[in-house]
A and B are shown apart, each in its own frame.
Chain A
C-alpha cells in the first residue's frame, strides 16, 4: 500500500517537472521562431525594383524595423478574404522595404487572426496593441467586429486604420484613433444615384438584405434619390443573407415594381443572393434592370451566376476597369501600377479588399515618414493626410473626419458578357 502511494506521488512530481521543462523549451523555441521571422522580413534579396516611387533611398532598408500590426480573418467562412488582405499587405511591405522602407527602417508586418469572432479579435488586437513596438494596426475584414475592437484601439491609444465600413452610429462616437479606409454608405449611394441619373431613371424600387450595413445603405440611397427628384419605394421584405430560395421576396418585389411603375430595382442584397434574385425575377417574367451596390463589385461576383447577371449595374472599385479610365483621372496611374503588380504576383485582378489593403498600408507609411516611430505623432500625421491618391479613392483626413474617401471614388460599371465595363 505505502509503496504504491509513494510511487504515485513520485510519478506526479516527475510529470510536473516534465511539464515545466516542456514549457521552458517551447517558450525558448517560440522566441527563436520570432527572431527568425524578424530576420526573414528584414532581409530582401530581390534588390530595388525599377518602378518609380515618391521616395527611394536607393537601397534596401536596414535599420530597426517599424512594426505594423495586421488584424485579419484567416480562419472560418471568410478566410479567403482575409488571406487576400494579408497577402496583398505582405506584397506591399516587401516592395516598400526594397525601396528603402521608411527613412531606412524596414516595415515589419505582424499578422494576427481574428477568426471572425469578436472575443478572439479583442484578444488579438490587445496583444498587438500592447507590443510597444507596434506603431499602428490595420486590417479588419468584418463590420460586425467593430463594436468590440474599436474601444480597444481607443483604450490602448494605437492608430487603427480599418478596412471594414463603419455604420453611422459607430462613426458618431468620434473615435480618436480609428481611421476608415472603406468608402461608406454615402459614397456608395452617391455613385448609385450617378448610375440612375446616367440611365435617366425617375422611379425606382429598393430591396435589401437583413444585414445592418445593407439596410443603412439602402436608406441612404433612398434619401439621396429623393433629393434628386427620383421616386423611391423600399420593399418591406428583406432577403436573408443565407437564403437558398428567394421566390417569396422576389414575387413581392415584382408586384411592387409593377404597382409603382418603377424603371429599375436598386438592391443592397448580399452578393451571393443577387444572382438568384435576378434569375428569379426573370423567371417570373419581369425584365426590370437591377442596380446593385458596390459590395458586389468584384470579379468573383461574375462566377456567382449565369447569363442572368448580364445587364446588372453597380459602382465598383476602379481596379476592375482601370484600362478604360480617362487619362485625366488622377487615380489612373496609381490604380494601374497596383493592378499590374497584383496581377503579376497573384494572377487575378485585385478587388476592393486588395485595393483597401494597399491603401491602408500606404497611408500609414506616408504618415510614418512625417511622424517617425511615435503612436500619437503618427495619429496626428494621419489626420493631416490631404488628397492622398489611392486605389480606392482620394483620401483626406482631418481631426474631426476620420472617414477619408471623397465621394465619386467608384467607377460606374455595367456587366456585359460576364465582364465589367464602364457605364456609357
Chain B
C-alpha cells in the first residue's frame, strides 16, 4: 500500500470514526447520569437525518433551518423518552430500563416507516463538495466538518462537566444520587438533561451520516451498535474514551475493508472489540466503571 493510499485510507477512517465517536458520546452521557445504556441512540441519529429529509424535501425548507429544527425535535423526543418511558420504570433493575430503550428504538423506526416510507435518501453536505488536496490526498470539506464537530462536542462536554456548576451537579447526581438529592440536586432533572444532550448529539451525528450514505428508518440500529462498540472500546463511561474508541474503530474498520475481502469489515471490528476486552477490559483509555482483574 503506497503512502498516498495509506493516508487516504487513514483520513477516511478518521472521518467515519468521528461519526461513530459522536454516537458513542451519546451513550456515555446518558450512562454517566443514569446507568442506563440507551439503545435508542441509533434511532436518535436516524431521526435527525430523516426529519431533516422530510423538512427539506416535502416542506421545502432550506438545509440549515431544517437541520436545526430536526435536531430540536429529536432533542424533544429524547426528553420524552426519559419522561414517558425511563422515568416511569421505577425499578431497581436497570436492565428493564435498557430493554425499554430497545422498545423505544423499534417504536421510532416503525413510526418513521409509516410516516415517510422506506426509500433510503441522502442529505447534502454542509458546504460544497469540492475536495482539497492535502499531502497528496483528497479531503472532502464534509470530512473536516465531521472531525471538527466531534472535537467541538467533546471539548464542550468536558468544559460543561468540569468547569460549570451544572456539570458538577450532573457528576454529583451520577456519583451519589442520595447525597446529591440531600443537597437539592434533582436526579430526575439531571438525567433529563443528559437525555436532551445525547439526543442532540445523536441527531447531529445522523446529519453527517446521511450525507455519506443513504439512510432510511432501518439505518439507525446498525450505527447505534457501532457507537456502542466504540464507547466500550475506548473506555466505558469516559467521554474522551467514546471519541477515541470511535476513531480507533473507524480506522481499523476502514483499513480492514482495504486489505480484506468485503464483508469481513464487521468481523474486524468485533474481533478488535474482543481482543481489547480480553486484554484490557477497561478499554483503550481505561475506565473506572468496569471491573478488571
Contacts and interface: CB of A to CB of B under 8 A. Distances in A.
Interface of A: 76-81, 83, 209-210, 237-240, 242-245, 247-249, 251, 272-273, 275-276, 279, 282-285, 300, 303-308
18 contacts: A77-B118, A77-B218, A80-B113, A81-B118, A83-B118, A243-B265, A244-B16, A244-B19, A247-B8, A248-B257, A249-B262, A272-B214, A283-B129, A283-B140, A300-B121, A304-B120, A304-B214, A306-B129
B119 A80 contact: yes
Contacts of B257: 240, 243, 245, 248-249
Given A248-B255, A275-B214, A284-B8, 5 more contacts: A210-B261, A237-B262, A240-B257, A251-B5, A282-B129
Contacts of A240: 257, 262-263, 265
Contact of B213 (A81, A248, A251, A273): A273
Interface size grouping (class) on chain B: 35 or more
B261 A304 contact: no
Given A248-B258, A273-B213, A303-B119, A308 B9 contact: no
A260 B16 CA distance: 31
A247 B113 CA distance: 30
Interface in B103-125: 113, 117-122, 124-125
A76 to B, nearest CB: 8
Contact of A245 (B5, B15, B118, B125): B15
Nearest to A210: B262
A80 B16 contact: no
Given A77-B218, A78-B118, A242-B222, A303 B57 contact: yes
Contacts of B209: 244
A86 to B, nearest CB: 13
A122 B125 CA distance: 44
Interface in B240-293: 254-255, 257-258, 261-263, 265-266
B120 A272 contact: yes
A248 to B, nearest CB: 3
Interface string B9-21: 1001101100100
* B15, B119, B216, B265 pick with most chain A CB within 10 angstroms: B119
B212 interface: yes
A279 B9 contact: no
Interface in B64-99: none
B131 interface: yes
A251 B261 CA distance: 15
A113 B16 CA distance: 36
Contact of B262 (A243, A244, A247, A272): A243
A279 B261 CA distance: 22
B186 interface: no
Given A239-B262, A306-B124, A251 B9 contact: yes
A215 to B, nearest CB: 11
Given A242-B222, A272-B214, A285 B118 contact: no
B2 to A, nearest CB: 9
Interface in B195-246: 209, 212-214, 216, 218, 222
* A240, A245, A249, A279 pick with most chain B CB within 10 angstroms: A245
Contacts of A272: 120, 213-214
B254 A308 contact: no
* B19, B57, B254, B266 pick with most chain A CB within 10 angstroms: B254
B161 interface: no
Contacts of A81: 118
B171 interface: no
Nearest to B116: A80
